[in-house]
A and B are shown apart, each in its own frame.
Chain A
């Protein structure tokens, strides 16, 4: 598995909820509960917003939540706000010596 599959773009109106999927395989997403999600504004360092499928680091809004079913993980942003615009990508531990982590193709979130 060279990359986790995400939709290229997702959009929503302020206050709405959106969900971003992240599809892998039984060797990565399906094998480990080590899925992370990151928010990335171009030119800045990516920021961890979800780890271990559904845990939020300290300081991250509870509007962000994560889940997993089989080989697909999901990130939900509730109460969408203008500052949520940006790129979001997932990552999964893959456990191979030649592929420690596999990362997602990234999703551009637009707030209409």
Chain B
């Protein structure tokens, strides 16, 4: 069974940093592209970032490029999202997801990040 479990969310002040983690199990992690997707309160889901399986560069939505960094540790079956210079508008539930042939296949339950003073 595929399982994705996010952690590391919480309350942070504007301008602060937070690192989200996603623990993956139940599939051959190193062979899968991984994504982060977020949903702000009352809003729809928005794709945030993608990390390939190989050495190709990650991809970012315009709204987070330069502030967020996605990374992975294939030895630990983990994917991370380092979020710096956080803004109020980054407040959202963040989901970790895997990618199968041009679709998001499995999702985590999500983790809440609140940016507020």
**A and B assemble together:** yes
Report A's interface with B, CB cutoff 8 A.
Answer: 2-3, 32, 34, 36, 38, 43-48, 51-52, 89, 91, 93, 97-106
Question: Which B5-59 residues have a C-beta within 8 angstroms of A?
Answer: 35, 37, 44-47, 50, 59
A45 with B4: in contact, given A32-B102, A101-B35 (CB under 8 Å)?
Answer: yes
4 nearest A-B residue pairs (beta carbon) = A105-B44, A103-B45, A34-B102, A93-B102
Q: Which residues of A contact B82 (CB under 8 A)?
A: none
Chain B residues with CB under 8 Å of A102's CB are 47
What B residues does A105 contact at CB under 8 A? 44
CB distance from A106 to the nearest CB of B (A): 6
Partner-A contacts on B (CB < 8 A): 4, 35, 37, 44-47, 50, 59-62, 65, 95, 102-110
Q: Are B103 and A100 in contact (CB under 8 A)?
A: no
Task: Give min CB distance, A98 to chain B, whole Å.
Answer: 5
Can you sample 25 A-B contacts with CB below 8 Å?
A2-B46, A34-B102, A34-B103, A36-B103, A38-B107, A44-B109, A45-B95, A45-B107, A45-B110, A46-B107, A48-B103, A48-B104, A51-B103, A52-B103, A89-B45, A91-B45, A91-B103, A98-B60, A98-B61, A98-B65, A102-B47, A103-B37, A104-B44, A105-B44, A106-B45
A43 to B35, CA, bound (A): 19
Min CB gap B38→A, angstroms: 10
Where chain B touches its partner, the secondary structure class is strand
Distance to closest chain B CB from A110 (angstroms):
18
- Supposing A44-B109, A45-B107, A45-B109 touch, asked if A99 and B102 sit within 8 A by C-beta, the answer is no
Please, how many angstroms separate the alpha-carbon atoms of A38 and B107 in the complex?
10
Known: A98-B60, A99-B61, A103-B37. A3 touches B104 (CB 8 A): no
Q: Which of A34, A89, A100 is most buried by chain B, counting CB atoms within 10 A of its CB?
A: A100
Q: In the assembled complex, which residues on chain A have CB atoms less than 8 Å from the CB atom of B60?
A: 98
- What chain B residues lie within 8 Å of A32 (beta carbons)? 102
CB-defined contacts of A51 to chain B, threshold 8 Å: 103, 105
